[in-house]
Amino acid sequence: MHAQQYSLLVAAAILAVSQQVAGLTFTNVEATYWYDTTPIGVGGICAANRREVATWNDPIYSKTNPAIPACAKEGETYASINSNRMIAIPKELLTWSDRTFCGKEAKVFGPDGKEIIFKDGPLFAYEGCGDCKAKNRIDFSAQVYAELCGGTCGVGPGNNPVGFRVELLNNTIF
Protein backbone atom coordinates (compact mmCIF):
# COMPACT_ATOMS: atom_id res chain seq x y z
CA MET A 1 0.00 0.00 0.00
CA HIS A 2 1.33 3.43 -0.87
CA ALA A 3 2.00 5.90 1.93
CA GLN A 4 -0.66 8.32 0.66
CA GLN A 5 -3.32 5.59 0.48
CA TYR A 6 -2.36 4.39 3.96
CA SER A 7 -2.64 7.95 5.34
CA LEU A 8 -6.10 8.34 3.82
CA LEU A 9 -7.19 5.01 5.25
CA VAL A 10 -5.95 5.93 8.74
CA ALA A 11 -7.61 9.37 8.54
CA ALA A 12 -10.92 7.78 7.50
CA ALA A 13 -10.72 5.27 10.36
CA ILE A 14 -10.01 8.02 12.90
CA LEU A 15 -12.93 10.07 11.60
CA ALA A 16 -15.29 7.08 11.79
CA VAL A 17 -14.26 6.31 15.37
CA SER A 18 -14.48 9.96 16.48
CA GLN A 19 -18.08 10.11 15.29
CA GLN A 20 -19.05 7.06 17.30
CA VAL A 21 -18.80 6.59 21.06
CA ALA A 22 -18.24 9.77 23.07
CA GLY A 23 -16.38 7.71 25.63
CA LEU A 24 -19.32 7.04 27.92
CA THR A 25 -20.93 3.63 28.15
CA PHE A 26 -23.29 2.46 30.87
CA THR A 27 -23.52 -1.31 31.33
CA ASN A 28 -26.02 -3.57 33.08
CA VAL A 29 -28.40 -0.61 33.29
CA GLU A 30 -31.81 -0.70 34.94
CA ALA A 31 -34.42 1.12 32.84
CA THR A 32 -36.79 3.50 34.62
CA TYR A 33 -38.97 6.38 33.45
CA TRP A 34 -39.68 9.86 34.72
CA TYR A 35 -41.82 11.73 32.22
CA ASP A 36 -44.63 11.25 29.75
CA THR A 37 -45.62 13.46 26.82
CA THR A 38 -49.30 12.58 27.28
CA PRO A 39 -51.44 15.73 27.75
CA ILE A 40 -52.31 16.94 31.24
CA GLY A 41 -54.99 14.93 33.02
CA VAL A 42 -55.00 12.07 30.52
CA GLY A 43 -52.52 9.81 32.27
CA GLY A 44 -50.41 7.89 29.83
CA ILE A 45 -49.07 4.52 28.89
CA CYS A 46 -47.49 3.91 32.31
CA ALA A 47 -49.81 5.87 34.63
CA ALA A 48 -51.65 2.80 35.95
CA ASN A 49 -48.40 1.00 36.71
CA ARG A 50 -47.17 3.86 38.85
CA ARG A 51 -50.21 3.42 41.09
CA GLU A 52 -50.77 7.12 40.67
CA VAL A 53 -53.61 9.26 39.47
CA ALA A 54 -53.91 10.17 35.81
CA THR A 55 -52.17 13.48 36.51
CA TRP A 56 -48.78 12.09 37.64
CA ASN A 57 -46.98 13.92 34.83
CA ASP A 58 -48.78 17.27 35.18
CA PRO A 59 -45.87 19.15 36.83
CA ILE A 60 -43.81 18.67 33.65
CA TYR A 61 -46.46 20.50 31.62
CA SER A 62 -47.52 23.10 34.18
CA LYS A 63 -48.13 26.53 32.65
CA THR A 64 -47.37 28.29 35.94
CA ASN A 65 -44.23 26.37 36.91
CA PRO A 66 -42.95 24.46 33.85
CA ALA A 67 -40.26 21.85 34.35
CA ILE A 68 -36.95 22.61 32.66
CA PRO A 69 -34.49 19.85 31.64
CA ALA A 70 -30.88 20.15 32.85
CA CYS A 71 -29.62 20.71 29.30
CA ALA A 72 -32.31 23.19 28.32
CA LYS A 73 -31.39 26.10 26.12
CA GLU A 74 -32.91 29.44 27.07
CA GLY A 75 -36.69 29.22 27.15
CA GLU A 76 -36.92 25.45 26.66
CA THR A 77 -39.23 23.37 28.82
CA TYR A 78 -40.42 19.77 28.61
CA ALA A 79 -43.62 21.04 27.01
CA SER A 80 -41.81 23.04 24.33
CA ILE A 81 -39.48 20.14 23.50
CA ASN A 82 -42.43 17.68 23.52
CA SER A 83 -40.33 14.61 22.78
CA ASN A 84 -40.23 11.03 24.00
CA ARG A 85 -36.57 10.82 22.97
CA MET A 86 -34.89 12.48 26.00
CA ILE A 87 -33.02 10.33 28.49
CA ALA A 88 -31.70 11.25 31.91
CA ILE A 89 -28.16 10.26 32.81
CA PRO A 90 -26.45 10.65 36.22
CA LYS A 91 -26.79 14.32 37.19
CA GLU A 92 -23.10 14.46 38.12
CA LEU A 93 -22.32 14.35 34.37
CA LEU A 94 -24.40 17.45 33.58
CA THR A 95 -23.30 20.70 35.16
CA TRP A 96 -23.65 24.33 34.13
CA SER A 97 -19.93 24.47 33.43
CA ASP A 98 -19.70 21.13 31.61
CA ARG A 99 -22.48 20.30 29.19
CA THR A 100 -20.39 17.82 27.19
CA PHE A 101 -23.09 15.16 27.08
CA CYS A 102 -26.08 17.44 26.46
CA GLY A 103 -27.88 16.48 23.28
CA LYS A 104 -25.59 13.54 22.52
CA GLU A 105 -27.19 10.61 20.73
CA ALA A 106 -27.76 7.57 22.92
CA LYS A 107 -27.86 4.04 21.58
CA VAL A 108 -29.50 1.36 23.69
CA PHE A 109 -28.65 -2.33 23.48
CA GLY A 110 -30.82 -5.02 25.04
CA PRO A 111 -29.64 -7.74 27.40
CA ASP A 112 -29.08 -9.86 24.28
CA GLY A 113 -26.59 -7.27 22.94
CA LYS A 114 -28.79 -6.19 20.02
CA GLU A 115 -29.38 -2.51 19.36
CA ILE A 116 -32.93 -1.35 20.08
CA ILE A 117 -34.47 1.01 17.53
CA PHE A 118 -37.22 3.26 18.92
CA LYS A 119 -40.33 4.28 17.00
CA ASP A 120 -39.84 8.03 17.57
CA GLY A 121 -36.20 7.93 16.45
CA PRO A 122 -32.82 8.13 18.18
CA LEU A 123 -32.61 9.07 21.85
CA PHE A 124 -30.50 11.88 23.30
CA ALA A 125 -29.15 12.83 26.75
CA TYR A 126 -30.89 15.97 28.02
CA GLU A 127 -31.64 15.54 31.72
CA GLY A 128 -29.85 14.66 34.93
CA CYS A 129 -31.04 11.92 37.26
CA GLY A 130 -30.43 12.15 41.00
CA ASP A 131 -30.15 8.45 41.81
CA CYS A 132 -29.03 7.04 38.45
CA LYS A 133 -25.35 6.88 39.42
CA ALA A 134 -25.90 5.09 42.73
CA LYS A 135 -28.50 2.68 41.35
CA ASN A 136 -27.01 2.16 37.86
CA ARG A 137 -30.12 3.47 36.13
CA ILE A 138 -31.00 5.45 33.05
CA ASP A 139 -34.34 7.27 32.98
CA PHE A 140 -36.42 7.19 29.81
CA SER A 141 -39.78 8.60 28.74
CA ALA A 142 -42.80 6.43 29.50
CA GLN A 143 -43.14 5.67 25.77
CA VAL A 144 -39.55 4.44 25.42
CA TYR A 145 -39.81 2.54 28.71
CA ALA A 146 -42.89 0.74 27.36
CA GLU A 147 -40.94 -0.15 24.21
CA LEU A 148 -38.16 -1.60 26.39
CA CYS A 149 -40.83 -3.65 28.20
CA GLY A 150 -42.26 -5.12 25.02
CA GLY A 151 -44.94 -2.53 24.25
CA THR A 152 -46.56 -1.94 27.63
CA CYS A 153 -45.46 -0.94 31.10
CA GLY A 154 -46.41 -4.41 32.25
CA VAL A 155 -43.40 -5.04 34.46
CA GLY A 156 -44.68 -2.60 37.07
CA PRO A 157 -42.95 -0.68 39.85
CA GLY A 158 -40.07 -2.46 41.54
CA ASN A 159 -39.66 -4.77 38.56
CA ASN A 160 -37.89 -2.55 36.07
CA PRO A 161 -36.10 -4.28 33.19
CA VAL A 162 -32.34 -4.61 33.62
CA GLY A 163 -29.26 -5.62 31.66
CA PHE A 164 -29.20 -2.82 29.08
CA ARG A 165 -26.13 -1.11 27.66
CA VAL A 166 -26.42 2.58 26.85
CA GLU A 167 -23.74 4.30 24.78
CA LEU A 168 -23.52 8.05 24.36
CA LEU A 169 -22.17 8.84 20.92
CA ASN A 170 -20.03 11.78 19.95
CA ASN A 171 -22.66 13.32 17.69
CA THR A 172 -25.03 15.95 19.01
CA ILE A 173 -28.54 15.42 17.67
CA PHE A 174 -30.52 17.90 19.78
Residue 62, pLDDT score = 65
- Please report, for residues 36, 85, 152, 173, the alpha-carbon distance to residue 169 in angstroms, rounded to integers and kept in the order given: 24, 15, 27, 10
Residue 146 host element (H or E): helix 142-148
pLDDT tens digits, residue range 51-108? 444 444 555 666 666 788 999 998 898 888 989 999 999 999 987 778 899 999 999 9
Highest mean pLDDT among 134-138, 140-144, 148-152: 134-138
Q: Which domain holds residue 154?
A: 21-172
Return the CATH number at 118: 2.40.40.10
- Cβ-count burial 155-173 (b if 16+ within 10 Å, e if not): beeeebbeebbbbbbeeee
Q: Is the per-residue pLDDT at 2 higher than 60?
A: no
Domain count, the chain: 1
Is the residue at 74 inside a domain?
yes
Residue 98 host element (H or E): none
More confident residue, 17 or 63: 63
Residue 156, pLDDT score = 53
